[in-house]
Amino acid sequence: MEKVDLLEARLKREQAARQEAERLLEEKSRQLFIVNQSLQEAADRVSAESVQLSVILDRTNFAILLSTSDGRIVRSNKMARHLFANQKEDLTGEGVLTFITFADEEEDDGLFGLEENSLSDYVGKEALEALGNTSEGGPLPLEVTVNSLDWGEGEHYMWLCRDVSRSRAIEAQKQALEQEIRHGQKLEALGTLASGIAHEINTPIQYISDNISFMQDSFEDLHTLVSGLRGLIDGLEQQHKEAVQNKVSDLLEDADFEFLEEEIPSSIEQSREGTKRVAKIVSAIKDFAHPGSEEKSSVNINEAIETTATVSHNHWKYVSNLKMDLDENLPAILGYVGDINQVLLNLVVNAAQAIEEKGADDLGNINIKTTLEGELVSVEVSDTGCGIPKANLEKIYDPFFTTKEVGKGTGQGLAIIHNIVVNKHGGHIAVSSEEGQGTTFTLQFPKATTSAQSSVIEEIS
């Protein structure tokens, strides 16, 4: 009986243990199911995010390459495959430098001829200029940024390549348009000065014509005098010497020979001066109207000022005197001569208009001074005009800002001056003005270095 009881007790314990084991198994199974479900959901999210990321990368305008540290491509987006190898479905295994050639920098810090084992030297640098060896057409200008990242096993590099051909084409069009606008404004400025220039040319031509007419008439009188003297000499006899001398004196007096002897040389000199003046005006117009080179060249600021003063003479001579204090030893600057002429003309014309607007009874003054201040060539243009109100000083370089009445200003003049001096020539511009007293503009340009002048001379030769 005791054995039966022991067996029943043991059976109950085993049944209880089995039930507990089944319960624990069921609990673990339920937990594993929950965990597995969570992992599946996480995997689905990762998969969806991976697909989303791939779509984003494939739709970006950047060509993206992922390479190993030795430059072997392990992944690429759709743009990269389209840009670099249209006939290949995958760039995996290709060398990244097969598709990218970096620009040759003058300072030997570029990536031209870069070895694959030195790629790390250029990680994290600003966008580098390069050429893309594309599947169609010629090399394509690129901007490339290289970044390092830990991905998978070992260090990898991510190459962001941006096609800049369109932006460069737009920039080239913009520069061409700006040049056309400047040239058009130059022609407009010349148009406003055309009648004055015609007057400037007409005045010396008029007295040249008058002097030539005078010399023609005087020559006829001299011819008559000489003919008469020859006739007298042919019939000369000793006993009539006194009578001949008296007759010659009468002829010389009738021809006003003393006057002619004095005035003819003066007329000739005036004619020469007139022709020189005409030649100077025509030369100045030709130099000023020239569209200029697309490349920077050596510019003599003093010559540019003299040319501008000649071209604009009729615009300022009725309202002011123009005085020039030019440093004879002033070095050249490296720039665009057409743009410099445009700047100087705008400043002189603005000064003349300011003096005219002031309405003083006496002539005003326009003073132009050049000096060398350290490494900067300084040009100072001052006037005794109406001045600029303080409220407008901060606005004068804004495009289309003008205080002139309609038809007398577009508001582009000073904006163009600022762009030419600061942006195109790396210079500085400052203005000081006192309302009712006058205005002074100070321009500063970096002087041309010896190496820059030498390169310009080599290009010209």
pLDDT tens for the chain, 461 residues long, are 677 777 777 777 888 888 887 788 888 888 887 877 877 777 777 676 666 666 666 667 788 888 888 888 888 888 888 777 655 667 888 888 878 877 654 433 444 444 444 677 667 777 788 888 776 666 788 888 888 887 667 788 888 888 888 888 888 777 767 776 776 666 666 656 655 666 667 677 777 777 777 777 777 777 787 677 767 666 666 556 667 767 777 777 787 877 877 787 777 777 777 777 776 776 666 666 555 556 788 899 999 999 888 888 888 988 999 999 999 999 999 998 888 888 998 899 889 999 998 888 889 999 999 999 999 999 999 999 998 888 787 778 765 556 555 444 434 568 788 888 988 899 999 999 998 899 999 999 998 875 544 444 444 33
CA distance 373 to 104: 36
Identify the CA nearest to 77 among candidates 157, 160, 135, 165. 160
The token pair at 30 is: 């339920």
User: What are the distances in angstroms from CA 171 to CA 174, 175, 178?
Assistant: 5, 6, 10
CA distance 72 to 407: 65
Helices 165-234/301-311 angle, 10° precision: 70
Task: Specify the CATH number of the domain 60-168.
Answer: 3.30.450.20
Identify the CA nearest to 376 among candidates 311, 426, 341, 424. 426
CA distance 345 to 183: 13
In the chain, the amino acid numbered 70 is: D
Q: 333, 424 in Cβ contact below 8 A?
A: no
Q: Architecture of domain 295-461 in CATH?
A: 2-Layer Sandwich (3.30)
| DSSP helix/strand/coil, 326 | coil
The token pair at 254 is: 């009738």
pLDDT at 402: 60
pLDDT at 289: 56
What global pTM score does this model have?
A: 0.46
